[in-house]
């Protein structure tokens, strides 16, 4: 906030596009901020390095809790990535990282879903695989 003076996404994207081409502190801080925002999104959507919580959460006592995790909660991370896409596009390193994490999550989730015997864990890994595809 002390750099941009605003918390509106539109203003932040305009300021970030001005600051990123410079090769100084602002470029590094913009890249670090984009990386940390992406880490938050992959934690929420159960992507590759931070995916271990989803199968355990979907093994809850009721099928409704599994449905809530599969349908709504994990989609918030993908929405955050889509919402911050103008920032991510301006930083090529982050776009490469997003692609790499998506491919790893897609393949890992599909492979682990095939190896499961419990239907809820299989649904969790299948959901993780589809989120990697998105």
46 pLDDT above the threshold of 90: no
Give yes or no for a contact between 90 and 17, defined as CB atoms under 8 angstroms apart. yes
With b for 16 or more beta-carbon neighbours within 10 A and e for fewer, the 30-42 pattern comes to: bbebbeebbeebb
pLDDT number for residue 105: 92
Tens of pLDDT along 68-126?
766 777 888 889 999 999 888 888 788 899 999 999 999 999 999 999 998 888 888 88
Outline where 20-114 has alpha helix (H): 25-44, 53-58, 63-68, 75-83, 85-89, 92-114
**Token code pair at residue 111:** 């492979």
Give yes or no for a contact between 119 and 58, defined as CB atoms under 8 angstroms apart. no
């Amino acid at each position: 906030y002390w750099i941009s003076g605003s918390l509106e996404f539109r203003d932040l994207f305009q300021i970030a596009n001005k600051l990123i081409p410079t090769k100084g502190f602002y470029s590094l801080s913009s890249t670090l901020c984009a990386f940390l925002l992406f880490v938050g999104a992959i934690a929420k959507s159960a992507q590759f390095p931070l995916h271990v919580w989803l199968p355990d959460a979907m093994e809850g006592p009721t099928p409704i809790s599994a449905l809530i995790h599969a349908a709504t909660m994990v989609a918030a991370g993908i929405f955050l990535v889509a919402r911050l896409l103008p920032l991510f596009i301006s930083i090529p390193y982050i776009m490469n990282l997003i692609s790499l994490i998506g491919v790893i999550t897609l393949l890992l989730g599909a492979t682990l879903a095939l190896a499961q015997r419990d239907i809820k864990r299989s649904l969790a890994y299948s959901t993780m695989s589809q989120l990697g595809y998105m």
